[in-house]
Amino acid sequence: MMGMVKALNLGGWDALAMNFRCCSGEPNKTIRMYHSGDTEDIHEVVSFVAASGKYKTICLVGFSLGGNVVLKYLGEKGSDLNPAVKAAVAISVPCDLKGCAMRLEEPSNRIYARRFLRLLFDKIAAKARQFPDRVTVKDYESIKTLKEFDDRYTAPLHEFVDAEDYYRRSSSKPFLSSISVPTLLINAADDPFLSDSCYPEREAVASAFLLLEIPSHGGHCGFMSFGKRGLYWSEQRTVSFLNNAVPT
């Protein structure tokens, strides 16, 4: 996030960096956390910035889960999107959540899945301390996959029936056809987390607004480059796209 802010600032843009609930180092006060399809908070931020009267142009940039939220938000709003929002960039996006969950269960990704579960434990433990009557970390070590985590925590805490319902309703892929502003989606071909279903080539071809780029390399949010003042390739590409997409 800080690298993208630096790149945008160097490109002449102001930037606001948004942390999801429970991701700022301080737990939020409600039992609700964040999830891949939660667009309410980003809508609140966009509305607040637009209402300030300081900016006539707002562009959105999201990474990974945040990229899914950005794409879903744009598609949900469609032609009702705040007119200040002119363009967007989404990077390394799991736009089909079920496909990604299955991908992370593959043996080659177990080290990543275990790391995710360790990081999520801290967030759930904080919730258990806040709401001991509703959240428990008892037998947490029995959870071996992200789907099991989503079944036990994400779904019930956010009013989904189960993980399958969460994945179906929160994936951005079904919303891509309704995007109404220039939007760049960058998913590397060698991203270890993304299933084949996360490369929406048909949707991009059919859309007048969605541009899909699939670099051969870059992994998951790892589009490193050298020179150019320490900027990643993805950061340079984002600034270039936004400068071209938004009339000056």
Our answer to whether residue 220 is catalytic in this structure is yes
Among 64, 92, 172, 195, the active-site one is 64
| Rounded Cα–Cα distance for residues 110 and 128 (Å) | 26
- What is the pLDDT, as a whole number, of residue 227? 67
| Rounded Cα–Cα distance for residues 164 and 193 (Å) | 18
Sign of the Cα torsion 122, 3, 83, 176 reads negative
Q: Does residue 28 surpass a pLDDT of 90? A: no
Q: Does residue 118 surpass a pLDDT of 70? A: yes
- What is the pLDDT, as a whole number, of residue 185? 98
Among 150, 172, 191, 195, the active-site one is 191
Q: How many helices (H) and strands (E) does the chain have?
A: 10, 4
Q: What proportion of the chain, given as a percentage, has pLDDT over 70? A: 98
- What is the pLDDT, as a whole number, of residue 52? 95
Our answer to whether residue 64 is catalytic in this structure is yes
Tally of CB atoms within 10 A around 197: 17
How would residue 24 be classed by pLDDT, with cut points 50, 70 and 90?
confident
At 6, which helix (H) or strand (E)? helix 2-10
At 97, which helix (H) or strand (E)? helix 97-104
- What is the pLDDT, as a whole number, of residue 23? 86
- Whole-structure pTM over 0.75, yes or no? yes
Domains observed in the chain: 1-96+172-248 (3.40.50.1820), 101-170 (no CATH)
pLDDT digits (tens, 9 = 90+) for 179-229: 999 999 999 999 999 999 999 999 999 999 999 999 999 999 999 887 678
Q: Output the six-digit token pair for 159.
A: 């009013």
- What is the pLDDT, as a whole number, of residue 90? 98
Our answer to whether residue 191 is catalytic in this structure is yes
Report phi then psi at 199, rounded to 5.
-120, 85
Q: What proportion of the chain, given as a percentage, has pLDDT over 90? A: 92
Among 38, 92, 170, 220, the active-site one is 220
